[in-house]
Amino acid sequence: CHGMHTRNSHTKITDDNQTSKLLNTTFGNIKAENQSLASTFDNFLNNRRKEATKTIIVEVQSSDSCNDLYSYCSSYGPIHLMHHYTVDKNHFFLVEFKNIESRKALMTAATHIHHQDIIPVQSQMFSFRNIAGQKKTKKIQLSSSDLANIHVPTINKPTVEKMSSALMNHTNDITKQMEILYDMWKLDDIGTRLRFFTAHQMENSFTSLFPNNIVLPFGSSVNGFGKKGCDLDLVMNLDNNIMEKQGSRLVFRTKSIVSDQRSQTKKTMELLSFIMQTFIPGISNVIRILKARVPIIKYDHLLTGLECDFSMTNMTAVYMSELLYIYGESCEFVRPLVFTIRQWASSVNITGVGTPGTTISNFQITLLVLFYLQQKKILPSINVLKSLSRPEDVRISETCDCTFLRNVSLFPIMKNKNNETLESLLTDFFVYYSTFDFSTKAISLRDGISLYKPNTDNLYICNPLEKALNVSKNVHATEVVRFIEAVRNAAELINEGNEKDSRGLLDIFAEKQPRKKITFFNKSFKRVNVADLFDDKINDEHKNNMTNEDIKKERIRKS
């Protein structure tokens, strides 16, 4: 079922005939001239992927190498921009040429260090060395427009301490605090470039065997809810053009290792993982988790500083990212609100703790926020978006129909947002979920209303694209109760903050929820001792499908 989507919108990118004018504004500083075009997910992906083809990264001694590197690279063609960044105190520059030919010419001139244990792999990743006795490239005078494209030094990742001190300047304005928080943490231009560059490296590494392969980032790297430093989720499709040439008489000769699709994918991933670990520069700590429902290869990228989760033939996940992306594009409240609530959830230990699957994830929190905004009549339901879809919006993934209106400028006008502020929406979010009946109700973004749960899962959030599935199937009862207690607590704190001297958001963030043995409510909301809940059978699919060896490796990696 590779590439079952009906319209091939992510075509292979090899040319350089696009301008930078359409670059998306959400992730960078570059202003788009045509907003409605730029805000479609396909344009965003295609433009960022094209940038990656014209990009190299170069390890240098320090940021002082900037002019020297600029001069050297300029001798191969005009440079569009240079960005300094560090990974574990090692210094790098990301250099994007204006034309792909310049990048190709530079690669032709590059060499390998002559050494017996070197495998002479070529990629768009280099080190910049000084050669004793060799004349340095003549230093060119950088014009002011050149300088405008060079981003040095690196802006360090924000910390919770830095965020707190920035928020302290606006304690009486929660809306302003939410905007600051979003601006501080949202994925920036270099973060997005490095993610697409890392995806491009994987794609490029396998092009001789699979010329139509495509590797796309998905999840928070592209859905508009990405935080600086978030992981990179990648999906590879080995033949992105398979549906395009179904009428051809000539059929490629191929091999098949095993009979069914799932085993084939697992075998392919196993083989790819060996190549990745052995040959591909920067890839390290490769861990295969192939028995999980969605098999993945985890790895660290030492040259881009990213933690990556690599999967195959999972276009549904890309369309899910697109859905979240367009919801974020459609209303200016969505992203700052989601960021604030995710930050709050992490600070009160709702997310980022415990066994994955049994606790509430960032993805589930995001869906809770979007559903709440549907109840406020600020976002349309997926059914409405489906009913408004045009022929060019049709997408069928390997598992389901992912058709919905993809052009944000055609979204129905939601008048209700005019009466709201970020602060009022945040407060109401806490109030809304304080009284939500999680014991009997399921959350359905597709219908835009809550439904009765079809089973006894503790938390029921219908998968927005595959309604019969529950994305929070394995969340433990105690976690739901902790969530309810935390939202009630936050609602009270915000309310108290209005009456006395408050620190705004900092009041709700500071209030930690210790993981202690206290009395909670069970699924039917009768009071029970939490120890009883811990004895519940946990159906953790992810965990069950990992071998002991996988789990051990994962623990070592995490530690």
Task: Classify burial at 301, counting beta carbons within 10 Å of its beta carbon; exposed 0-12, middle 13-18, buried 19 or more.
Answer: buried
**CA dist list (Å): 273 to 205, 268, 525:** 12, 9, 47
Out of 51, 188, 233, 329, point to the residue binding ligand GTP (CB under 6 A): 233
Query: Residue 223 or 330: which CB sits closer to Mg ion?
Result: 223
Answer for the pair 178, 340: CB distance below 8 angstroms, yes or no.
Answer: yes
Residue 192 binds to ligand GTP (criterion: CB under 6 A): no
Least distance from ligand GTP to the Cβ atom of residue 525, Å: 25
Query: Residue 203 or 233: which CB sits closer to Mg ion?
Result: 233
Least distance from Mg ion to the Cβ atom of residue 354, Å: 17
Amino acid sitting at position 231: D
Least distance from ligand GTP to the Cβ atom of residue 223, Å: 6
What does the block give as tokens for 521? 């409510």
Least distance from Mg ion to the Cβ atom of residue 222, Å: 10
Least distance from ligand GTP to the Cβ atom of residue 311, Å: 9
- Single out the segment in contact with ligand GTP by CB under 6 A; choices: 30-38, 43-51, 281-289, 360-368: 360-368
Around Cβ 340, how many Cβ atoms within 10 Å? 26
Least distance from ligand GTP to the Cβ atom of residue 441, Å: 19
Binding to ligand GTP, residues 445-484 (CB under 6 A): 463, 471
Residues of the shown chain interacting with Mg ion in the complex, contacts defined by CB under 5 A: 219-220, 231, 233
Least distance from Mg ion to the Cβ atom of residue 233, Å: 5
Comparing every residue's Cβ against ligand GTP, the nearest one is: 219
3-class SS of residue 85:
strand
Which helix or strand (DSSP H or E) is residue 510 part of?
Answer: helix 505-510
Least distance from ligand GTP to the Cβ atom of residue 472, Å: 7
Amino acid sitting at position 462: C
Pick from ligand GTP, Mg ion, none: which does 59 bind, CB < 5 to 8 A by kind? none
Q: How far is residue 288's CA from residue 551's CA, in Å, rounded to a whole number?
A: 11
Site string for ligand GTP, 76-115 (x = CB under 6 A): ----------------------------------------
Query: Residue 323 or 533: which CB sits closer to ligand GTP?
Result: 323
Q: What angle do CA 322, 366, 415 make, to 5 degrees?
A: 80
Cβ-Cβ contacts under 8 Å for 323 (sequence gap 6 or more): 382, 402, 404, 464, 465
The closest alpha carbon to 95, from 111, 74, 64, belongs to: 74
Q: What are phi and psi of 529, to 5 degrees?
A: -80, 140
Q: How far is residue 513's CA from residue 251's CA, in Å, rounded to a whole number?
A: 61
Residue 178 binds to ligand GTP (criterion: CB under 6 A): no
Q: How far is residue 180's CA from residue 47's CA, in Å, rounded to a whole number?
A: 28
Answer for the pair 20, 149: CB distance below 8 angstroms, yes or no.
Answer: no
Pick from ligand GTP, Mg ion, none: which does 362 bind, CB < 5 to 8 A by kind? ligand GTP
Out of 238, 303, 320, 462, point to the residue binding ligand GTP (CB under 6 A): 320
Residue 343 binds to ligand GTP (criterion: CB under 6 A): no
Residue 57 binds to ligand GTP (criterion: CB under 6 A): no
Answer for the pair 263, 275: CB distance below 8 angstroms, yes or no.
Answer: no
Binding to ligand GTP, residues 363-402 (CB under 6 A): 363
Q: How far is residue 12's CA from residue 19's CA, in Å, rounded to a whole number?
A: 17
> In 89-234, which ranges are continuous DSSP H helix?
100-109, 144-148, 160-168, 174-185, 189-205
Query: Residue 153 or 356: which CB sits closer to Mg ion?
Result: 356
Q: How far is residue 318's CA from residue 489's CA, in Å, rounded to a whole number?
A: 35
Pick from Mg ion, ligand GTP, none: which does 471 bind, CB < 5 to 8 A by kind? ligand GTP
Q: What are phi and psi of 475, to 5 degrees?
A: -65, 130
Least distance from ligand GTP to the Cβ atom of residue 179, Å: 20
- Single out the segment in contact with ligand GTP by CB under 6 A; choices: 118-126, 169-177, 219-227, 402-410: 219-227
Least distance from ligand GTP to the Cβ atom of residue 198, Å: 15
Beta strand 232-237 with 441-444 is unpaired
- Single out the segment in contact with ligand GTP by CB under 6 A; choices: 50-58, 140-148, 315-323, 422-430: 315-323
Judged by the rule CB under 6 A, the positions of this chain that interact with ligand GTP are 218-220, 223, 230-231, 233, 317, 320-321, 361-363, 463, 471
